[in-house]
Each structure stands twice: as structure tokens, then as C-alpha cells.
Chain A
Amino acid sequence: MLNLLSIDASMIEWSRAQFALTAIYHWLFVPLTLGLAVIMGIVETCYYRTRKPFWKDAAKFWQKLFGVNFAMGVATGIILEFEFGTNWSNYSWFVGDIFGAPLAVEGIVAFFMESTFVAVMFFGWKKVSVGFHLASTWLTGLGATISAWWILVANAWMQYPVGCEFNPDTMRNEMMSFAEVALSPFAIDKFCHTVISAWIIGAVFVVAVSCWYLMKGREKKLAVESIKIAAIVGLVASVGAALTGHQSAARVAEVQPMKLAAMEALYNGGVDQSLTGIALINPFEQPDYEKGEEASMKIAVPYALSILATNDPHGYVPGINDILNGYTKPDGTVELSMDEKIERGKKAIEALAAYRQAKFASSDDGSIAASHLKVLQENMPYFGYGYIRDKGELVPFVPINFYAFRVMVGVGCLLILFFMVVLFFVYKKDITAAPKWLHWSAIIMVPLAYIASESGWLVAEFGRQPWTIQDMLPTCASVSNLQSSSVIITFFIFLVLFTTMLAVEINILLKQIKKGPEHENN
């Protein structure tokens, strides 16, 4: 029998760290897969339209790099599911079929759609018609994108749980509406922003590889034509990411106001809020938000935060203290203080315990259980708050959210500028004779784009702390009652394994880039 009074606090942190490590590693492959899929699809479409062997060689080359990345990324996401079952067993049971259904659909689509069409894409050049091959290439990308949709649906549900009802008998959340879960506005925003930002990674990668060829004075035609395609995709995707990012921020303001307040280091909110461009915040400790002092060296854009959050320059945006102490929304609805939510959460947990006790007691005719069930249902929206000891635990770590958000937006703006400059050179000047700094900046943009992409993930996941499921289950309740030593061991095993696998991938990828395209058709 496990000792239920021995939950190890460091176990929670190590389990989170392990999950974060795995997700960050998995996310290195996914955006490049999604992004390269679009570019190789366009390149092969050029071949389909012109039937020029050059385009076939170019398509095969980018498909080869796609294949390397695809192969290295395969099954890295499975480890996350292992972690759910071992480290996060309470959570896994509690989410029930809400998580299972999207992941099952993802598994089927990923396996059958991707694996079939990937095979046709790589093996079918001489076996199937040009049109069917092109369709297979696009369907490979579509399959990966549909997979991403279901994963993001599952993630979005954790951030904004809808379409479900908690069953205290089974201790699981039961899906009431598949459509509500699958088409949740939060999921749609998340999908659009995430997938479009993945296209940027693909575009930056293609421009960087092409610029490297130009620096080496080889594969000039492939490089120039690829840059023309990738830079357009990159610019459109960068602007699209900014627009969908705005939509995501508005949604976060609506359903996760604490996340937005942490991203902005906004301690006391109000109307006419300015957006902080940059400010100095101690990156290593939580600021004293209760004092409400503004961060030093702050440069802000007037009204921009109100516009970002509410689409109104005079819109009301609550700060951390407002959310902790309760506030009235512009529409007149009152948001409870965290102390009140904690009280209601405790009531919900007590009612759950009493309900289960009455349910299984032979003396109860059902009326006592029913009365406890009523209390549970009334307080269920605050269930997770019952585990919170101090309302300060409900404030995510501000420095990470603040800086990660700025890195994501800053690099995003830099990418828009970068793609504009590249397009200017490739269409108005001669990019083969462009200054070296441009070619080098293309290469430097690859890690920067990845840092921006991972920063976006950090904002999404750190910003929702302490919740695994918003308002319903905090990390401290989700975690299994394990010894932290076992999680620490696997954390370091993963660190070694992932580093080795990443080194192998980069090595194979660089070798293939150095080798260049095969000109079998010229």
C-alpha cells in the first residue's frame, strides 16, 4: 500500500521537467515536418505544371530532407503518453475519454494516412502517375497537419475544458459533445497559430539551406528558385502568425486572464492598458506583484494591450492582483476572488468524498448521496482550487512568461523583416550576388526561429500553471505518488538519449545537404 501522506514536492517538479524536456525535443521535429511539407508540395506542383526535370530534382531533394526529419521525429511523441501513464496517472484517469478520443483519431490518421502516402511519395516516382504522386505529397503534409490538429485539440481542452461533465462514480470526465471539444474556439486559434508558425520554420530552413549553397557557389538554380518559394511562404506565414497570435491573445485574455497578466507582468490592470515592449524584470525570481510597482526601464506602446486583449483601445484588462482579489468585468459579471474559489474548491472535494461514502453506504437510500452530489455539481467548476494552499500558487512564474513572450514576438517581427529583405533581393536584385551578411543571417535565423517557436510553447504551458486542466486539476493533484528518484533517473536517461538522437539527426541532415540534390533527370 502506498503511503498517501508522502507526496514528494520535488517529484512534481521533476515530472514537469521531464515532460517539458520530451515535449521540447518532440517539437524540434514537428514544425519542420509541417513546414517542409508545404514547400515540397509547392515545388512538386511546379514540376506537375511544367514537367521540367529541374523541378523533379528539387522536389526529390526537399523530400529527402523531409524524410530525414520525419524519420527522426517518428515515435518521439509516444514517450509523452508513457509519461501520462506513469507520472501523471491521476490526470490520465481524470481526463477520461476526452483525451483518449482525439489521440486515438490522431493515431489512426497518422499511421494510415501518413504512412501510406509517405511510402508513395518516396517509392512511387516510377510507379504511380505524376498527378497521383503530387496528391500523395500533399496528402502526406495534410496527414501530418491533421495529426497536429488532434494533438492541439487535446492540449486546447486542458487550457479551456469544454464539452464534458465530471462523473463522480467513475472519477472521469465524460465527453458530452465531441464537436464542442474538437471545434473549441481555443483549439481553432491554437491550431491556426501553431501550424502557421510551423510553416515559418520550414521556410526559414529552406532559405538557410539555399543561402548556404549560394555561399558555396553551387546549386544556384535550386537555391534561387527554392528561396523564391520559401520566402513567399515565410512572409505570408509570418504575417499570418502575427494575426493568429493576436486572435490567440484575445482568447487567452477571455479564458486564461492570469496567463496574459503574467505574460505582460501586469500587476494592476485597468482600461487603456499599454503593451510593454521591453522592461527589466529579475529573470530568477517572482516579482513582488502585491506591491504593484511597475518594472524598471519599461518601454510601452500605449493602448496596445487593450487592443490585443479586447480589440478596443479602451478595453479593460485585469492584472494579477485584480484576478487574485476578484474584479468586475465590463459586462457586469463578477469574477470571484481566488480565496473564494479556493473555498468552493474545498467544498467540491469534501462533497465528492461525502458523496462516494454515502453512495457505497448501505444505510443511504440515495437522498444523502444526492444532496452531496448537488453540492459537488455546484462547486465543480472550482474543483481544482481545493488543492491550492495559498493564492500565490495561482500566479505563474512571471519572468519566464514575460521574456518568452517577448522573444517569440521579437523574433516573429524580425522574421517578417528578414523575408521582406530576402524577397527584395531575390526578385529585384541578384540574390546570388547578395552580401554575405544576408546569407549568414539566413543561417542564423534557423536557431532563432526555433527559439521563437519553443518560446511560444513555453508561454502556453508555463502561463497556465499551476493547472494541468484549467481550474479543474492542478499539477500537484495530477501527479502519481512516485519516488522522485525514479523520475530523476529517467529525466537524465532522456537527456542523454535525446541529445544523442539530435546529434545523429543533425549529422545525417548536414551530410544530405552537403551532398545536395541528385541530378538524375538532367
Chain B
Amino acid sequence: MLFFWCFLDIFVLSLHINGYTMKKAGFWHRVFDLYYDGFRSMTLGKVLWTVILIKLFIIFVVLKVFFFPDFLKENAREGEESDFVATELINRVEELKD
């Protein structure tokens, strides 16, 4: 599925990139050129990309690593997650009575 999308995207893109100077260039070069020129000539985009990168850093490096560990990975033995959840769900009834 993933490769299908990749292939389709690049194939369709390659059919339609029609810059005059690019016509003789190779397929990968034309795709590269679209992104390269696009990123190089960004103005507002630079600000937005800076915000996005800061945000991604906070989300994936700070929040995920320090504040959002995978609870089951940390508390259940590998391959025994179902036993852990079963114990949790069965015992939770008693916990809630207290």
C-alpha cells in the first residue's frame, strides 16, 4: 500500500512537471527540482517550517520520551501483555468497590 502510494505519487508527478528547462532532465531530477526550488524560494514557509520543527521536537523528543512512555511496555513482560491487561480488567472490579 505504502509503496503503491509512493509510486503513484511520483509517477503522476513526473507526467505533469513541464518546466521548459526541465524537459530534458531526468525523472528524479525533475521531482528533486520541484522540492529544491520550492524549499529554496520559501518566505513564509521558512517560518512555518521552523514552527513545525520546534513542535515536532517538543512532541517526539520531550513529550514522548519523558512524559508518555508506553505503559504496557514498561509494566508488562514482553509477550505477556494480554495477561497483564486481563489481570487489570478482572481486578479493577474489586478496586472500584473500595
Q: CB within 8 Å of B: which residues of A?
A: 2, 4-7, 64, 67-68, 71-72, 74-75, 78-79, 82-83, 85-87, 89-90, 92-94, 108-109, 112-113, 116, 119-120, 122-124, 126-129, 132, 169-172, 346, 349, 352-353, 356, 386-387, 389, 476-477, 480-482, 486, 489-490, 493, 497, 501, 504, 508, 512
Are B51 and A116 touching (Cβ within 8 A)? Answer: no
Given known contacts A127-B19, A352-B86, A112 and B9 CB-to-CB distance under 8 angstroms: yes
Q: Which of A72, A116, A171 is within 8 Å of B86, CB to CB?
A: A171
Q: Which of B18, B38, B52, B72 is within 8 Å of A119, CB to CB?
A: B38
Return chain A residues, CB-CB under 8 Å to B59.
Answer: 75, 78-79
Q: Which of A4, A82, A356 is within 8 Å of B88, CB to CB?
A: A4
CA distance A108 to B6 in the complex (A): 10
Are B38 and A128 touching (Cβ within 8 A)? Answer: no
Residue of A nearest to B70 (CB): A85
Additional pairs, 20, CB under 8 Å, beyond known A71-B51, A109-B5, A116-B13: A72-B48, A75-B52, A79-B59, A82-B64, A82-B68, A83-B68, A85-B70, A94-B89, A116-B9, A119-B35, A123-B38, A124-B38, A127-B18, A127-B19, A129-B18, A170-B82, A171-B89, A349-B90, A349-B93, A486-B67
**Central interface residue in A6, A171, A477, by most chain B CB within 10 Å:** A171
Return chain A residues, CB-CB under 8 Å to B68.
Answer: 82-83, 85-86, 490
- Please report which residues of chain B, range 75-89, place their CB below 8 angstroms from some CB of chain A when the two chains form the complex: 75, 81-82, 85-89
Give chain A nearest CB distance to B45 CB in angstroms: 7
Return chain B residues, CB-CB under 8 Å to A356.
Answer: 86, 90
CA distance A425 to B63 in the complex (A): 50
Are A90 and B89 touching (Cβ within 8 A)? Answer: yes
Residue of B nearest to A132 (CB): B16
Are B45 and A93 touching (Cβ within 8 A)? Answer: no
Return chain B residues, CB-CB under 8 Å to A68.
Answer: 44, 48
CA distance A78 to B81 in the complex (A): 23
Of the A-B pairs whose beta carbons lie under 8 Å apart in the complex, a sample of 28, sorted by A's number, is A5-B98, A64-B44, A67-B44, A67-B45, A74-B52, A79-B63, A85-B72, A86-B69, A93-B72, A93-B85, A122-B38, A123-B34, A123-B38, A124-B34, A127-B18, A127-B19, A127-B37, A128-B17, A128-B34, A129-B16, A171-B86, A172-B82, A477-B92, A490-B68, A493-B63, A504-B51, A508-B47, A508-B48
Q: Which of B37, B64, B67 is within 8 Å of A123, CB to CB?
A: B37
Give chain A nearest CB distance to B84 CB in angstroms: 8
By DSSP majority rule, is chain B's interface helix, strand, loop, or mixed? helix
Residue of A nearest to B16 (CB): A132
Are A169 and B9 touching (Cβ within 8 A)? Answer: no
Residue of B nearest to A92 (CB): B72
CA distance A7 to B88 in the complex (A): 10
Return chain B residues, CB-CB under 8 Å to A116.
Answer: 9, 13
By DSSP majority rule, is chain A's interface helix, strand, loop, or mixed? helix
Residues of B in contact with A, size category: 35 or more
Return chain A residues, CB-CB under 8 Å to B69.
Answer: 85-86
CA distance A421 to B80 in the complex (A): 63
Give chain B nearest CB distance to A259 CB in angstroms: 23
Are A108 and B70 touching (Cβ within 8 A)? Answer: no
Are B55 and A74 touching (Cβ within 8 A)? Answer: yes
Residue of B nearest to A64 (CB): B44
CA distance A398 to B54 in the complex (A): 41
Q: Which of B64, B67, B82, B97 is within 8 Å of A171, CB to CB?
A: B82
* Chain B 6-17 per-residue mask, 1 if CB under 8 angstroms from chain A, else 0: 100100110011
Return chain B residues, CB-CB under 8 Å to A108.
Answer: 1-2, 5
Residue of A nearest to B97 (CB): A389
Give chain A nearest CB distance to B8 CB in angstroms: 8
Give chain A nearest CB distance to B96 CB in angstroms: 6
**Central interface residue in B19, B39, B90, B98, by most chain A CB within 10 Å:** B90
CA distance A353 to B92 in the complex (A): 12
CA distance A481 to B88 in the complex (A): 8
Are A122 and B45 touching (Cβ within 8 A)? Answer: yes
Give chain A nearest CB distance to B55 CB in angstroms: 6
Give chain A nearest CB distance to B41 CB in angstroms: 8
CA distance A116 to B80 in the complex (A): 40
CA distance A192 to B43 in the complex (A): 37
CA distance A402 to B55 in the complex (A): 36
Q: Which of A2, A72, A113, A476 is within 8 Å of B5, CB to CB?
A: A113
